Each structure stands twice: as structure tokens, then as C-alpha cells.
Amino acid sequence: MASRQYPATALTNLSEEEQLFYSTVLQFADETIGPLVRSMDEDQAYAPGLVKRLFELGLMGIEIPEEFGGAGGTFFDSVLAIEAISTVDPAVAVLVDVHNTLVINALRRWGTEMQQSHWLPKLATSTAGAYALSEAGSGSDAFALQTRAEADGDNYRINGRKLWISNAREAGLFIVFATLDPAAGYRGVTAFLVETGTQGLTVGRKEDKMGIRASSTCELLFDNCVVSRENMLGEAGKGYKIAIETLNEGRIGIGAQLVGLAQGAWNQAARYAKQRKQFGKTIAEFQAVQFAIASMATRIEAARLLVYNAARLRDTGQPFVKEAAMAKLFASEVAESVASESVEIFGGNGFVRDYPAEKFYRDAKIGKIYEGTSNMQLATIAKQVLGSWNDVHCANLRNRLR
């Protein structure tokens, strides 16, 4: 199938095991998700049974240790899975991405032994997770939270409202960020594990989105939602640390989603160019189309290597904040431009829903917005590179003065 095309240059960066894993996930995406893409987009919901199939294939517990029923894989494996699924449907990849790179990683790093032994087996086999940070007044200003958590004996009572929460309809577990003391600013932010069905928690309306429409993005309402102290994730007042460190990793996952999206749009455009005839020959024989396809492929490969580099750094315990921001920033730009050019290669057919180009175009736009806008990525990169330059400059200056 067309969507199984994969640039040979990228394959040289993968081990045999990683290549096999990618190919397996890609085949599943082609054969199982592919036929459902249009109907899920129109219905604004995942097809019945699809989430269960993701669990059965092991895609919802990639990094969970085998002792807890997971695959015992790496962060890079999660990145490969997200990319492969996104070549077919970025909306399904959102579910896999948030679940693996945000929820599971946060629980593995900061969860107590009891929390991990209780939740990780469920997250590996049957229970989807969601990450509830954003609010109406706290988008890029992530810690301007109004949701409150007040101590009540051995419990906390959570009150407030969350917006734009991915996986909200599918989730059985939410990581919820609330403030214990608004006057303390980010130092009051604390994370809690809140199970779906907890009294006082209501999943509200689903957003009617431009793209990734099958993915549920909903508001959460908390009305005296009682959560045990044992459900606090990490320490009181340390929720900001959990959020920052987890989102740094999540940006790599979003970068992978956008690389996969761009690859999927390119696959469709390249195939169409070889089939569509004008003036007695396929449009792929025209140099202008050849150059467009070549330029698209080059940008996709550059974005892919940025994402892979950031993921490898993360897996080997090296600093990766700058690289993650670069990967997310550049991949979002590439996804939007490649999806747009794909529509143009399809011509009039690219503007109608009978062909896949317009959906990739709609799906691409969110890439510059969620998990850190492009301006926030630029701010992070600038801080990192200028800080590094200043450190080197000061060291050189000190050496000259000696």
C-alpha cells in the first residue's frame, strides 16, 4: 500500500528490531485504521473496538515494564509507533501519544510503588489515560491554574474546570493538575490521579474541531471531587516539575506525529502524481511536480532526524530540552507546508473529502498550537542556545583574562 513507503535513508537509523516494529505498526495502521479514517472523522469518534485493538497490539503499554504487563520498550519505540500510525490517521496517534508519552511516563517516574502496581497493569491492557493541565486562562501560561485542591482530612476536594483535554472520553484515568495555594504561583501546583467515575468529576462537551476530529477533546468539570491523599502524584507543590518534564518529552511525541502526518500526505501526493494524467502524461513527469515532491521529501527527512535525535538523547539520559523544542517546532512547520503542497498536487481533488489530502491539511494545523505553541518553542530554543553561548563566551573571556 502507498502509505507503507518509508525513506531508505531514515531506515539506516533504525535497528532491525526497530524496523520490524515500525513495519508491524504501519501494517496495522494501513489495514485496520485506514478503512475507518473517513467515517471516524465524520463521526468525530473512534470506531467501536479500535481502542481495544490498540491495547491488544501492545501499543498502549510500550514503555511499561513487562512485570506490569507492558512491552518493556523504549521511548524511541513509542516515537516510532506514533509516527507510523500518523501516516494513516494522526487522530488515532493522539490517543497513543498522550497515553504513552505523558500519562505512563509521569506515573513511572513519580508514582509510588502502590500507584504503579495498581495502575500500570491497567494502562498496559485496558485503561486509557489523559493529561488534564490546560484551562481557559492557562494555555501557554500553563501554571495560571484556577482549579483548586483543598485538604479535607485524608482527602482533597478538587473544584474547577479543565479545557482541551485529549482522550477525555476514552480515559479511565486522568492526571489532574490543581493548585493548593493560588498565592504560591507555580509552587502550589500539585498533580493527582483521578479515576473516571469519581464522584464530582464530569466529562463535559467535546470540542467541534477543524482537524484530528476523531480524537476526543473535552472539558472536565470538578465539583467537590473527592480524591484520597494516596492519589497525589509526586509531592505537594511539585506538580509544575511533573508537568514541565513530561511535556518536554511529549513534544518529541508530537514531533513524531507531525512527521508521520507529513509522510502520509507525501505518500498520497506521490502516488496521485504517478496516476494523474494531463497533456498526455502523468503529472509526475513534469519537472515542477518532481521538484515539489523532492523538496517535500527532503523537509520530511530533516524533521524526522530532528525527532529521532531528540528521542535518542532522551533514552540515553542526555539533555534534550532544546532538541525536543527544535523537533516539535520544525516538524509542525514541515507538516503544515507538506500537507498544503499535497493538496495542490491533487488540484481540485485535493479540496474535496473524497481524497485524503484535505484531511491531512486540516489535521496539520494543530501542530503549531498544542503541547507548546511555536512561539513557546522558539522561546525555549532561544533560552537554551543563548544560555549556552553565554556560558562559552564567559569561559573564553575568563581564560583570556588569566
Name the nearest CA neighbour of 134 among 243, 265, 210, 207.
Answer: 243
Residue bearing cell 507546508: 337
Opening angle at CA 147, ends 164 and 118, nearest 5: 80
Q: How distant, in Å, are the alpha carbons of 86, 194, 384 from that of 340?
A: 16, 40, 31
Strands 217-228 and 201-206: antiparallel
d(C-alpha 227, C-alpha 215), whole Å: 27
Closest CA to 255 of 83, 60, 139: 83
> C-alpha angle with apex 111: 110 to 113, nearest 5 degrees?
130
Which class for 154: exposed (0-12), middle (13-18), buried (19 or more C-beta within 10 A)? exposed
Ramachandran class of 49: left when φ > 0, alpha when ψ lies in -120 to 50, beta otherwise = left
Q: Which residues contact 283 (CB under 8 A, 6 or more apart)?
A: 273, 276, 277, 289, 345
CA 376 remoteness from chain centre: 16
Active site residue 371: yes
Q: Would strands 171-179 and 128-132 be described as parallel, antiparallel, or unpaired?
A: parallel
Give the active site residue among 170, 333, 336, 371.
371
In this structure, what C-alpha cell is assigned to residue 385?
542556545
Active site residues: 371
